[in-house]
Structure 1
Amino acid sequence: MAAVARNGVIGAGPDIPWRIPGEQAEFKALTLGHVLVMGRTTYESIGRPLPGRTTVVLTRDPSWAAPGVHVAHDLEAALALADTLPGDVMVAGGGEVYRAALPHADAHVLTQVHLEPAGDVTYPDLDPAVWQETGRRPGTAYDVVRVERRRA
């Protein structure tokens, strides 16, 4: 699950380089009741666990903790922990976590933002030989796109 600009940018440091009405509501609607796996920088940019969702924070710092979240120190541990919790497992950033989780993913829900902002965090390229678009809901400022792993 990610909001991605036309140029692949998803962030400028810890910040999202756009504010588009309705875009964050898409994220909320899709993730309510589910498990979010995210990196520590992404979590700290949000600043709190998101209501109605379970959060697993991935960090290399063995002493890091935050109230109301689960902590894992590598992706495999984060995904294994998330699998024991109620709801679907959704990766919610940042760029390093998306890249590391790509081999484990079976689908992406992308808010494709109709902008090309400057930024230093990007979403991984999806190889069309591996991934195919299976749904699109067009919008004025963004499209909501579902991409699924091709079946062999």
Structure 2
Amino acid sequence: MSTALPNVTMIAAVGRNGVIGDGLMMPWHLSEDLKFFKRTTMGHPMVMGRRTFDSMGALPGRRSIVVTRQPGWSAAGVEVAHSVPEALGAASDSEQVFVVGGGEIYRQAMEYAARLLVTEVDQSPEGSVTFPRIDPADWVETARDVHPGFAWVTYERRR
């Protein structure tokens, strides 16, 4: 297997308070954002934690690589990795890979990411799962597409 990592993009919907969920599901339903997620990730591998996989399953047209600490865990139609670097290495044959959650996977993958696609949701829901802080010393906002109730924001890593 090649040691070169693919271009890593983290994609997430994040409330004003940093919350992305409660450990079981997303705290909102934004159909326009779900369509954005689908068209953006289609055809690319997605790296996710096991609980994120449990909440969304394997999505058609995308390779699912699930990171879990559980030895022997498996699910139909997915690849299993036991760390974020192992998952990204498994996707090294792809030009682009998306990290799709949850909170702990985002924290571990942040150092590998070149781009963040963040849907800033104009809500502050209750929830225990958060997105990591976006440090302006490391990231620059390069695009913002504002919609009623949310904005799609692109950040690029400062080089």
Q: What is aligned with 1:94?
A: 102
Aligned counterpart in structure 2 of residue 132 of structure 1, from 96, 118, 140: 140
Match status 1:145 vs 2:153: yes
- Give me the TM-score of the superposition, normalised by structure 1: 0.95
The one-letter code matched in structure 2 to 1:39 is G
Q: What is aligned with 1:120?
A: 128
Q: Deviations over 1:81-124 (max 9, x none)?
A: 0112x451110000000000011111100111111111100000
- 1:35-74 equivalent positions in 2, closer than 5 A: 35-46=45-56, 48-74=57-83
Change (3 A) 1:50 1:25: same
Alpha carbons 1:33, 1:87 under 8 Å: kept: no
Could you tell me how far apart the structure 2 residues matched to 1:21 and 1:97 are?
24
Deviation (angstroms), 1:140: 0.6
- 1:23-34 equivalent positions in 2, closer than 5 A: 23-34=33-44
Q: Deviations over 1:36-73 (max 9, x none)?
A: 00000000011x21011110000011110011111001
Alpha carbons 2:106, 2:131 under 8 Å: kept: yes
Could you tell me how far apart the structure 2 residues matched to 1:25 and 1:127 are?
28
Alpha carbons 1:108, 1:146 under 8 Å: kept: yes
Could you tell me how far apart the structure 1 residues matched to 2:71 and 2:48 are?
16
Could you tell me how far apart the structure 2 residues matched to 1:102 and 1:57 are?
17
Alpha carbons 1:99, 1:123 under 8 Å: kept: yes
Number of aligned residue pairs: 149
- Give me the TM-score of the superposition, normalised by structure 2: 0.91
Q: Which runs of 4+ in 1 moved over 2 A?
A: none
Q: Which runs of 5+ in 2 are unaligned?
A: 1-10
Alpha carbons 1:40, 1:58 under 8 Å: kept: yes
Identity of aligned residues (%): 47
Q: Which runs of 5+ in 1 are unaligned?
A: none
